[in-house]
Amino acid sequence: MSDNELAIATEIVTNRYNLIKYNNEVYYFDGEIYAPFENELYRAVAHGLASNPSARFKKDLLLNVYHYLDEYTGNVNVGSYVAFNDCLYNTKTHECESFNKDVVVTMKLKFDYPTEEASKPNMVDEIINKLLCGNKQDIDTLYEYLGYILARDMILEKMMTFNGDGNNGKSSVLELITYTFAGCCNQLPFKSYFEKFGLSSLGKSMFVYAHEMTNDFIKDATKFKEVLSNNDILIEEKYKNAYTLHNYNCKFIYGNNGLTKMDPDCLKAITRRLLPISFDYDLGKEKRDMYFYKKWLTKENAERLLFLAIEGLKRLQDRGNFELSDRSEELLEQYANELDTVYNWADQYEGEYIDQKVTYLFNNYRTYTQDQGGVPVKRSTFETRLCQIKDLKISKQYLNDGTGKRYQIFVDKDTNTKAKK
């Protein structure tokens, strides 16, 4: 095809369609949402936009259209609208509206807005109530977080974790959630936050998830904190130009049999962003239902879950934040202890602390932590944390070692600390 034919085809395409360029891709309004344009463009070409078009011509035309368009700077997927299969749902007015080309969304749920039938309790209520051991606050928090996923303009910087040992049903709950949000969520292993090409799905997801977190040690969680805070981030994809992702407001659900190892300096910033739900029910003694998923992953259950999510969103909007149950507070304290390398060392150390050289105990701690695959904190952090854990303080004292030197040693915090020979 000649350059002239390519230019004419580009003009026809840009005049015929409502197009936007967003995050390295071209989208067109398909009458409901903004969908990827590539397949539609190839269909249009095949139906007479050009005579005998080659594969090369199709690619060149798409590239021409891409360069012709300016980057869209308006809101995408982050306003007060979420697309159900049959309508645009306004999360502020809680009303359904007609699809509108001026509301730019690129994701659509495959289920209709919940009907009156979805307001009636069913299998979803029964199973989740059982798996969460009837803990009403945890049950409400789960539905509120699903409502938070729908609220594209709400940023509370929270990641939900499903906690508990195996055989407790948390995977089944996550399966129903991902079934309900199919096409609007993507699996994203936790380690992807720290890989060069790991985050390309963020701008194409209402939420990302993984059934388990990684056991790899995380020394720098800066990018993870930036993602949770909805900060602009650089997205790199193989064989494509890098771009900056704005206002993606993606949410996060991760299964967690054991908390990810993390540098203690990242501990406080990460744990305050966690929203843990504990699955304490033991399914081990129950007879396995071979047809469970056939009954569980249904349109009726998905619409019931969406109804509960909308009710949860209303509660969350009224309150303005999440409220943790006592059980969740316990889990956060447990997390802090698990991630605290000084605490973990002190928990297994059987020696004395009083009148022991700071250098000796720090070296003992450092060796133990490295042997466990962790990264020790710096000495000053070790000193402060151990004094907090064991009610100690540091004093310079002369020791009976024949050197005549004073050493920093740990003493009881109520001890008179005058230097003694």
- Same domain, yes or no: 285 and 376: no
pLDDT of residue 339: 72
Q: In what order do the strands lie in the sheet with 95-97?
A: 81-83, 88-90, 95-97
- Same domain, yes or no: 364 and 243: no
Question: What is the Cα–Cα distance from 99 to 89, expressed in whole angstroms?
Answer: 9
Q: How confident is the model at residue 288 (pLDDT cuts 50, 70, 90)?
A: confident
Buried b (16+ CB within 10 A) or exposed e, 328-361: beebeeebbebbbbbbbbbeeeeeebeebebeeb
pTM of this structure: 0.82
- Same domain, yes or no: 327 and 347: no
**Is residue 79 a part of any domain in this protein?**
no
The answer to whether 314 and 147 are in contact (CB under 8 A) is yes
- Same domain, yes or no: 183 and 121: yes
- Same domain, yes or no: 247 and 352: no
Alpha-carbon 378 to chain mean position:
29
Buried b (16+ CB within 10 A) or exposed e, 290-305: eeeeeebbbeebbbbb
Higher pLDDT, 338 or 180: 180
- Same domain, yes or no: 191 and 160: yes
- Same domain, yes or no: 115 and 258: yes
Alpha-carbon 160 to chain mean position:
7
**Is residue 86 a part of any domain in this protein?**
no
Question: What is the Cα–Cα distance from 178 to 181, expressed in whole angstroms?
Answer: 5
**Is residue 289 a part of any domain in this protein?**
yes
Mean pLDDT of the 175-182 span: 97
In the predicted structure, residue 178 carries a pLDDT above the cut 90: yes
Candidate from 119-128, 139-148, 213-222 with smallest mean pLDDT: 213-222
Question: What is the Cα–Cα distance from 198 to 319, expressed in whole angstroms?
Answer: 34
DSSP letter at 259 equals: P
The domain tally of the chain equals 3
In the predicted structure, residue 139 carries a pLDDT above the cut 70: yes
**Is residue 87 a part of any domain in this protein?**
no
**Using alpha carbons only, how large is the chain's radius of gyration in Å?**
28
pLDDT of residue 145: 98
**CATH number of the domain bearing residue 387:** 1.10.10.10
Structural domain harbouring 194: 107-332
The answer to whether 271 and 261 are in contact (CB under 8 A) is no
Q: How confident is the model at residue 219 (pLDDT cuts 50, 70, 90)?
A: low
Q: What is the average pLDDT value for the chain, to the nearest integer?
A: 87
The answer to whether 362 and 370 are in contact (CB under 8 A) is no
Residue 393, SS3?
Answer: strand
pLDDT tens-place string over residues 302-357 = 999 999 999 999 999 999 999 999 999 998 887 777 678 898 899 999 999 998 99
**Is residue 290 a part of any domain in this protein?**
yes
Amino acid at site 90: N
Mean pLDDT of the 238-243 span: 83
**CATH number of the domain bearing residue 140:** 3.40.50.300
* Burial group, residue 306, by CB count within 10 angstroms (0-12, 13-18, 19+): buried
How many Cβ atoms are within 10 Å of 119's Cβ, its own excluded?
A: 12
- Same domain, yes or no: 289 and 262: yes
**Is residue 175 a part of any domain in this protein?**
yes
pLDDT of residue 214: 63
Instruction: Give the residue from 332, 361, 388 where a domain finishes.
Output: 332
How many Cβ atoms are within 10 Å of 229's Cβ, its own excluded?
A: 12
Instruction: Give the residue from 68, 95, 115 where a domain finishes.
Output: 68
At 328, which helix (H) or strand (E)?
helix 326-339
- Same domain, yes or no: 327 and 371: no
Mean pLDDT of the 110-130 span: 96
pLDDT of residue 326: 94
Residue 241 CA: distances (Å) to CA of 28, 205, 234, 295: 21, 20, 11, 44
Nearest to 213 by CA among 188, 231, 242: 188
**Is residue 262 a part of any domain in this protein?**
yes
Nearest to 30 by CA among 108, 147, 94: 108
DSSP alpha helices (H): ranges in 45-195?
55-68, 123-131, 136-150, 170-180
Residue 249, both tokens: 């407001």
Residue 133, both tokens: 């051991």
Question: What is the Cα–Cα distance from 138 to 130, expressed in whole angstroms?
Answer: 12
Residue 381, SS3?
Answer: helix
In the predicted structure, residue 245 carries a pLDDT above the cut 50: yes
Mean pLDDT of the 389-398 span: 89
Residue 191, both tokens: 């380690």
Question: What is the Cα–Cα distance from 396 to 405, expressed in whole angstroms?
Answer: 10
Question: What is the Cα–Cα distance from 147 to 141, expressed in whole angstroms?
Answer: 10
In the predicted structure, residue 255 carries a pLDDT above the cut 90: no
**Is residue 96 a part of any domain in this protein?**
no
> Looking up tokens 């929270």, which residue turns up?
158
- Same domain, yes or no: 327 and 403: no
How many Cβ atoms are within 10 Å of 27's Cβ, its own excluded?
A: 25
Mean pLDDT of the 389-393 span: 92
Candidate from 21-30, 63-72, 129-138, 229-238 with smallest mean pLDDT: 229-238
- Same domain, yes or no: 286 and 215: yes
Nearest to 172 by CA among 270, 294, 63: 294
- Same domain, yes or no: 306 and 377: no
In the predicted structure, residue 260 carries a pLDDT above the cut 60: no
Instruction: Give the residue from 297, 332, 367 where a domain finishes.
Output: 332
